[in-house]
A and B are shown apart, each in its own frame.
Chain A
Amino acid sequence: MNISLTVNGTSHTMDIPDENTPLLWIIRDILDLKGTKFGCGKAACGACTLHVDGEAVRSCSYAVKFAEGKEITTIEGLGDLENPHPVQQAWIEGVVPQCGYCQPGFMMATAALLEKVPNPTDEDIDNNIINVCRCATYYRMRKAIHRAAELKAALPMPESQNV
């Protein structure tokens, strides 16, 4: 079937033979954006977390047909070296990653959390950031999440909200 979706601001239309193909493989193998990771294929670890219309989604278990017409953001679209997202900035300041494989999933989950809960408590973090990190960088991640909230709060408001 033909699928149209927007990924990191660029619209794509593609012919997907199997509409139940997980979005993860479309992102990784067709669009060649490898920052979104495969960890378990069962939505159990969160390594594949990306945003679909702003919501954190575990893309290994999200059929591409549900992404029709939607706006998708991956780690590559979250920010870049010149304009890092506050979460990425906090991750850099805190030197969070070790092996780094699960980190995009954690950063995407955190970015989505901060949209809903701008200043999360430790309990909010415990309840919402439930991905798996085998290097166990949780200690630095928790600090980085609090720091990201600070950085994000300090950003100028987008113009549309200033009106």
Chain B
Amino acid sequence: MGEDEKNRKKVSRRQFLIRGGLGTVGVLALGTYLFRNPLRRFAAGAINTADAPYMGSTDTPIIWFEVIKDNTVVLHSPKVEMGQGTFTGLAQIAADELEVSMAQMRVVHADTASGNIDGFATGGSTSISSLWMPLRELAATMREMIKTEAAKKLEIATADLTVSDGIITGGGKTMTYAEAVAGVKEWDVPETPELKPVSDYTFVGKPIARVDLKDKVFGAPIFGMDASMPGMLYGAVVRPSLIGAKYRGANTTKAEKMPGVVKIVKEKDFVGVVATSYIEAQNAKEAIESEWETDRNWNTADIKAMVEVGKGKAFVIQKEGNPDDILEGSADSLVSEYWSPIGAHAQLEPSGALASVEVGKATVMISTQVVGITRDEIAKRLDLDKHKVNIIPTFLGGGFGRRLHTPNGIQAAVLSRAVGKPVQCFFTRKEEFQNDTFRPPTHHVLKALLKSNGMIEALEHNVSSGDVAFGSPMLPGIAESVLGADLGAWRGGMIHYGVIPNYQAVSWRVKLPFATSWWRGLGLLANTFAIESFMDELALKADKNPAEFRLVHIQDDERGKRLKSVIVAVVEKAGYKDEVVDGKAMGLAVSTDTNTPCAQVVEVSIQNREIKVHKVTCAMDPGLVVNPDQVRAQCEGAIIMGMSAALYEKMEVVDGALTPTIYGPYQMALMKHAPKEIDVVLLQGADVPGAVGEPPLGPIGAAIANAVFRLTGKRHREIPLHLG
């Protein structure tokens, strides 16, 4: 039974209110799934071991569904759609309990005025898993409420009614959901009905096409940057290009005279301009002479030195047995170090927002992963009650953690307030690269002692990383003292080989001079690269097959069994052999992220002194799969994004500035690098859905490095991997 099963509360009668009118009816649930467990348990549970529960909102009322006159049901999603397919999965889940067809389901982003505000974020691969139970219960309850009204109107007992495709039938009569709900003022709210067994579902488990597919193929204006309002103006904000730069003021005399300028806006913390077109705003911004103060001229070497294990503050996050004494006391211990660089989000749609601020209220259309936090931050800056600020989330042109920080929303709102008109304001690509909330660089020191029988006696993983969760608006300031170690930095950093009698993981925390934060999978990519490369070194030293070596070190509990299953599955599907054939080698690596085990085998060769990945086989067990096609799509994307980070991506710090600042020089995987074959095997070792979007990003880096070692004899200890 998953965490969300244990934490769930049934929808109570008090939690439903109804709003009617205008041919639509909103079914409104109040504060349904508020989570009250202590922060520490939440953090550990959410990030490392289990699915995060849905945290809900204390706002009232909360709109979940609307029934439209054409018998369409609109789901107001508290989770945003950033490509991960959440809208489609939620529509499948709701349609099955509502007894409507997929064609009758429409999913929109819940604006904050609807009250349906996620108390956490869209992130951490939790959207489907956390809403699995609440959404089914809400949908089933609404279905019964509609049936009750139909029974009254048709004068037939509810028990004698059947429903299908949003049509209620009984006693030879039929009625649509829309007809049933029309004009209803007072509703009977039943106790939460029995949910259908998963085996009875029509849509859950099927490869239904994405609900947003056509909008995305025909170019519909659905993204933050596509939003517009009548009379909209264009803003630009001067952003620093140096690390640690503090804004000290600006001379705007020249900029004020630039064509199209409506207003120069000087604030205590930034200076911006509003103009009548995008280009005019950008040109005027370039003409602003701003002053910045920096206290140090940082370079990559400084940053790398800061993140060395031993420099920061250490927290033991996992310990079994007595690894310190055993490893320190033996001259035969194997010690290896690994490194990962600063990584950029590089999502295609830059950060930005469209804001319209009027007297006493504000509307902001924005790509955000933290809808509620975005609202609260903007309300605070504008000195408005938060209920006077409506955030209308748009589709995200990529998320990956970049939109868990949204000061860009505040800037657009401040510019709009200054001119009394709607203002759109977006980052340039250079600003995006220089002011990202980067994936922090890491350093890993691993130590192990092998017994003469080839079994690991003791294993230790030290990871030193810039902050991930700390400093984020999603965690209150108190979290640092409660948690100690940064839960984002150590994601994927624990040792999942429970047969080892003595092991520990130690997280070293370093505060870097630039913002580092959530990046798809958080520490997963770097931690797995280090641990799984090291496991490969140990397997070779023990003269064991790498797959067998892993299997014998995994314990036999539920978690261990699922992990072993994905290894066995990937070995079989890939025909994994630890040998070089025709210049191609295979590499294996394994990770467990938020309870979703994943194993990957890559086939690699060296062509023109470059690492070429021909094929990736991926076996993953995310529990119950709501949409197998979209889970596959997430695996395919995460594998290539992970490849991109493992082989190409790297930010440098040169003379105080983060660089490069454009695609191309910031090398990323392109079409020509993508494997021609990606084979995904999905196991379903749990009866509830688990994490999908991030786990398959874990093993790929180590799997490639392990294959490369077999081709070149060189152990690569730093990503991106360079043959040299």
The answer to whether A and B come from one shared complex is yes
Q: Which residues of A does B touch, CB under 8 Å?
A: 17-18, 21-22, 25, 29, 32-42, 44-45, 47, 74-76, 79-81, 84, 88, 91-92, 95-104, 107, 122, 125-127, 129-142
CA distance A136 to B397 in the complex (A): 13
A103 and B637 contact, CB distance less than 8 A: no
B663 within 8 A of A: yes
B260 within 8 A of A: yes
A44 and B664 contact, CB distance less than 8 A: yes
Which residues of B (216-237) have their CB < 8 Å from a CB of A?
216-223, 225-226, 228, 234
B350 and A134 contact, CB distance less than 8 A: no
B396 and A125 contact, CB distance less than 8 A: no
CA distance A127 to B673 in the complex (A): 11
How many cross-chain pairs have Cβ atoms below 8 Å apart between A and B? 178
* Nearest CB of A to B668, in Å: 6
- Interface bits B218-259 vs A (CB < 8 Å: 1, else 0): 111111011010000010000000000000000000000001
Query: Nearest B residue to A129 by beta-carbon distance?
Result: B671
Q: Which residues of B does A touch, CB under 8 Å?
A: 82-85, 209-210, 212-223, 225-226, 228, 234, 259-260, 277-280, 345-350, 395-400, 426, 428-429, 629-630, 633, 636-641, 644, 662-664, 668-676, 678
Query: Nearest A residue to B227 by beta-carbon distance?
Result: A34
Query: Nearest A residue to B283 by beta-carbon distance?
Result: A18
B398 and A135 contact, CB distance less than 8 A: yes
Query: Nearest B residue to A36 by beta-carbon distance?
Result: B219
Given contacts A98-B83, A132-B670, 6 further A-B contacts (CB under 8 A): A21-B279, A40-B662, A92-B214, A99-B397, A132-B663, A142-B671
Query: Nearest A residue to B349 by beta-carbon distance?
Result: A101
A140-B636 in contact given A97-B217, A102-B348 (Cβ < 8 Å) = yes
Contacting residues, chain B, for A127 (C-beta < 8 A)? 672
- The 26 listed contacts between A and B (C-beta, < 8 Å) are A17-B260, A18-B259, A21-B277, A21-B279, A25-B279, A36-B219, A37-B225, A38-B350, A39-B348, A45-B348, A92-B213, A95-B629, A97-B212, A98-B84, A98-B637, A99-B83, A99-B399, A100-B222, A104-B219, A122-B676, A132-B668, A135-B637, A136-B669, A136-B674, A138-B669, A140-B633
B429 and A40 contact, CB distance less than 8 A: yes
* Nearest CB of B to A25, in Å: 5
A136 and B637 contact, CB distance less than 8 A: yes
B676 and A32 contact, CB distance less than 8 A: no
B636 and A139 contact, CB distance less than 8 A: yes
A35 and B348 contact, CB distance less than 8 A: no
* Nearest CB of A to B225, in Å: 6
B662 and A142 contact, CB distance less than 8 A: no
Contacting residues, chain A, for B226 (C-beta < 8 A)? 34
CA distance A52 to B532 in the complex (A): 50
Contacting residues, chain B, for A37 (C-beta < 8 A)? 223, 225, 348-349, 397
CA distance A131 to B348 in the complex (A): 11
* Nearest CB of B to A80, in Å: 6
Query: Nearest B residue to A130 by beta-carbon distance?
Result: B670
